[in-house]
Amino acid sequence: MAIDTRGETADKPSGEKKAKRTSPALFYRQVIAELRKVIWPTRKELISYTVIVLGFVLIMVAIVAGLDAILTEGVLRIFGGA
């Protein structure tokens, strides 16, 4: 659901005037308000998530490196190589 902070309706016909730009101060206040709504992870959760992501990345690197080595060997056998 969209929140209209300027008091204008979101579904205006295209022929009407454009909405005013948001001032930097209003934008900053809106960003701070949204950041207050965020549920930040605890230190333990953050470490856990980081370990999981790094583990996943290492597994994917190993898979891609393995496939690269296999395909390289196959291409060199088919087309010959030094």
Identify the CA nearest to 69 among candidates 79, 80, 77: 77
DSSP output for 24-55:
HHHHHHHHHHHHHH--PPPHHHHHHHHHHHHH
Q: What is the pLDDT of residues 26-79, one digit of tens each?
A: 999 999 999 999 999 999 999 999 999 999 999 999 999 999 999 999 999 999
Is pTM, for the whole model, over 0.95?
A: no
For residue 12, what pLDDT is reported?
Answer: 56
Place of tokens 């209003």: 26
Q: Where are the domains of the chain?
A: 40-82
